[in-house]
Amino acid sequence: MTEKKNRILEKIAREHGTPVFIIDHEKIRQNYREFKEKLPDVQAYFAVKANSNPEIVKTMYDLGASFDVASLPEFMLVHDNIKHLSEKERQDFIWEKIIYANTIKPAEVLANLNEYKILVTFDNVEELRKIKKHAPDVGLVLRIRVPNTGSMVELSSKFGVHPGEAVDLIAEALDLGLGIEGISFHVGSQCNNFDNYSQALNFAYSIFKEAELRNYQIGFIDKDGKRKKILDIGGGFPVKYTPDVKSFSSLSEILNSEIKRLFPNGDIQVVAEPGRFMVATACTLVTKIIGKAVRDGKTCYYLDDGVYHTFSGQVFDHQHYPLHSIKRGEKKVCATFGPTCDAFDTISLADELPEDLQIDDLLYAENIGAYTIASTTYFNGFPPPKVVHLNK
């Protein structure tokens, strides 16, 4: 299998040059199917920020996915796929299958969003007042602060109202004449501590219960005329970058059990925002050695991609992407650097690679689809990698 894969990577590199970022759409489809199979009662909103490549968005749309967007350009990227629908179909899709899950929105963005009558999240009273003024027709989902312990990227320091203040904020929204559709939370990206989810679900249950005791009407009327509340459990679903990462299967068992226990009446519509889970394992980067030196007794390879480009995930996502050589050879600890004129552009000081590789030899990194090319830059004049699609 490795030999076959290497031949494919070499062929693509010959045809397109390097660096080249390869997206396997069949793997995206497999990941989506796995998510739906393991969490059948959860509506999957693909978090576009993980990888906003338009072809990925199109594949997710064709699969029937919903979408989590966090900016107006991301919303318009999704909207491009529904332009052909009738006005009513378009509006139904936006309401039922898109959530604007950034709690802070500029006034001009809110004014633009208002015409689409979209779901948006909020977590403070200033945002409520802004929404009342600029976007009174949107639907509101309250984001609460929950534990992020053990997650690779924590989010609770920036987003979410304290659970103890949540119902008072709901009251503020209702007093302003705004409707609350439900509650959302996020346990942190690449969560390896599943207790975060259990605690967050219990917080949400308590808030719904207190709002009910205070006679606050939360939710929307579904097609069957029943009132339903949205429970958005966010993202954080782990990808097995390394063997010590807990399995999605064990998390899905916990989630299914806890949701059934806490919300047995069927009056909750559960949604989630998987981003990394859908795209991380679907992408491979092929890069070329453009320079070689020995420094302090260690072989150093200089590559045509680095941390200002696809390896930006090492900085912003706290994730490491081990490099592999297409050529075989006895492996030694080597250093790998990016192409820019900055010592910060260090990919690794401890990649295990053959030390007899030469300039123009190819290396590749797998599982590099999430929060990588999405945050690439043009620093030092070096452009992002070329993108090649497989199995579209």
pLDDT tens, position by position, 340-368: 999 999 999 999 999 999 999 999 999 99
Is residue 150 very low, low, confident or very high in pLDDT (cuts 50, 70, 90)?
A: low
- Asked if 173 and 140 touch (Cβ cutoff 8 Å), the reply is yes
> Which residue, among 170, 146, 177, has the nearest Cα to 159 in the 3D structure?
146
The C-alpha atoms of residue 206 and residue 192 are separated, in whole angstroms, by 24
Torsion of CA 8, 14, 17, 19, to 10 degrees: 40
Are the C-beta atoms of 227 and 219 separated by less than 8 Å? yes
Determine the Cα–Cα distance for residues 58 and 388; give it in Å rounded to an integer. 15
Query: E strands within 196-345?
Result: 220-221, 227-232, 268-272, 283-295, 298-303, 323-325, 331-337
25-279: CATH, from 3.40.50.11890, 3.40.1800.10, 1.20.5.50, 3.20.20.10: 3.20.20.10
pLDDT in tens, 268-290: 999 999 999 999 999 999 999 99
Top-tier CATH class for 2-22+281-390: mainly beta
Supply the pLDDT for residue 154. Answer: 64
| DSSP of 71-95 | SHHHHHHHHTTTTTS-HHHHHHHHH
Give which of 115, 67, 361 is closest to 235, Cα–Cα. Answer: 67
- Integer Cα distance of 341 and 180 in angstroms: 51
Outline which parts of the chain fall under CATH 3.20.20.10. 25-279
Q: What amino acid positions are annotated as catalytic residues?
A: 341
The whole model's pTM is what?
0.94
pLDDT digits (tens, 9 = 90+) for 252-267: 999 999 999 999 988 9
Average pLDDT over residues 292-311: 97
| Residue spans in the chain of domains classed CATH 2.40.37.10 | 2-22+281-390
Is the pLDDT at 8 greater than 70? The verdict is: yes
